[in-house]
Chains A and B, each alone.
Chain A
Amino acid sequence: MNTPVEQFREDATRVAADEQHRRLIQGALGKYYVARDRQVGRFQDWQSARQAAAETKWEAVNHLDQHLVSFAEKLEARGGKVFWANNSAEARDYILKICREKKARCIVKSKAMTAEEIHLNAALEKDGYEVVESDLGEYIVQLRKEAPYHFVFPAMHLSRGDIRELFDREIGNVKSDNPEDLTMVARRVLRKKYCEADIGISGANFAIAETGMISITENEGNARLTTSLPRVHIAVMGIEKVLPRLEDLALFLPMLGTAGAGQAITCYNSMIGGPRQPGECDGPEEFHVVLLDNHRTRLLADPEQRDALHCIRCGACLNVCPIFKNIGGHSYGTTYQGPIGSVITPHFRGLQDWKHLSNASSLCGACTSACPVKIDIHHHLLHNRRNAATQKPRWWEKLAYKIAAGVLNWPEFYAFATAVGRVMQKFHPLVKGSVLDPARAWTKTRELPQVAPQSFRDYWRARERKP
């Protein structure tokens, strides 16, 4: 089996050369940029809103214990059940236990990245439950037996033709590739499932410490149906999702909609505080919230990178990232793709195995300036690089830097080396790209920069000599 870095190299190389992929992604993101810029332009002061959101998240994450305790108490007082899970196995076992107790047959799910993180579907299916993803994009990738491509736009890498073929094969008799017709095909299939399902599983975008509610952001209405019709609702969320006050959503909902999809606010933003209450006519009898740690406390323990837990999973940093656009979401091989995924995955799954993601960056900082909660994403990529090198230094890297330092500190030798380089470079075309080429890794796809015909030092000296 390939190691993560080998797999990454292989996939990234393949996708970067795939022109159909490039066309689809550029097309989809082109629309996103227009919509986002329009919405950001409607804000009176987007930058101050970002700062306020960042400070609110700082408060939430830096007093996480208090906020979580309050959230759990409030929710339990209203009949909700809160389960604290140290890791994925505990979370999965708890959910399986509920499914067994309720003798569930059919389970509908609305989008939950935490469920991907704990590989919930595989566990449920192994025990014989039918699990249906209800978000259109998630449904499509589920039918393809694929992971989501992007944590906000899961099926962004597929064309309407791909989806028509898929539906025709898996559902049957789908002839039109019009997006509207395709959406209606999925609507019909999934409608039946909502009415049959015993258990609805969702994620949560926010949790409110003050009131014990979770808040779910969506566009399709699938999360609303998932949390309204089945007898039992289980929400799986990371412990970092909590916000102090209900009113904080008045800032976060518009910011999430704007940064995530270029919408003033998404179509449905629902706050759920408990199972059906006395006097209410519908809603589940039971409401469970699974609070998932799964190494988040490891990230919390690093004050330098703690703000990576402020992330509201809007996906803006992916959408602007030149690396993401070239290599695509699947190449990362992680639950959370893109720049933020590269920052947090090493904390969740091991720095040495996942440090290559932090190297795969141009450090352009587009992610940082797109982030609605001002996470210093590209500096965190640097922090990961530094931490990886400190933890496990490589002798040849150290040696290379020592030699470089020696050369750079010795002007005469530096001048000599440059002169040699100037001469040698003339012969480079003879070996360029072949096994003999020392710069082959670079010259395979790029041109080597030329050594300047005259060094600055020489130029300066020549200039001084002139009257």
Chain B
Amino acid sequence: MKFFQLIGQISIKALAKLGRAGLFFMSILSSTGYLLFRPGLLIRQIYSIGVLTFWLIAISGLFVGMVLGLQGVYTLSTFGAESSLGIMVAASLVRELGPVVSALLFAGRAGSALTAEIGLMKATEQLSGMEMMAIDPLKYIIAPRFFAGFISLPLLAALFSASGILGGHLAGVDLLHVDSGAYWSQMQTAIDFNDDIINGVIKSIIFAWLVTWIALFEGYDAIPTSAGISRATTRTVVNSSFAILLFDFLLTALMFGAP
């Protein structure tokens, strides 16, 4: 009995949280109009969310690509198929690693920062203060951050894939002397613009929505104490990582599952 009661309690809590998160998202959406008049707010947030994550993503992408290049040559050479290296590197980056790894890095770098920032603003009554100054924090604080994240992550994912493909070239072609022409031409025949590139971008758009939403909501919903904020920050990273991986599975099944 205790056990079922516990399960009941947990699911009711989870549902209630999901409901609050849904309402929260709706009110972000309803603040979109305001942002159109205040592009400055958005630009400032793209700076702190996107620009400051640039090097992390670019360099991680490069290294992931280089590792793929090395491992690819190593594995493919046992079949004498090094010339397919381009396909292997590009397909794994564009379809999976680009969107997923950049989203995971983004959740760790930008998502946790967002949660902590919003949570601290709540704890120090800055959000209440704004409300009393008749400035809606949802419009002024939350919405710009949401859209900045929503715009930045897909761009960063493209950056990750691109620098990864260059990294694969660096390791495979420049270091291990796979033919450069084969690297690019095989890639171009195998990677389909609609199936691979566009689907990858769609994935990263969905991840962007998930991560920014989770991060902002956890901050907004945090218990306004130092322990509460630290737990909320942890939850952001954990929950968005789970959400990214779960949705990646679902989307992959949807996009590439059917022959």
- Whether both chains belong to one complex is answered with no
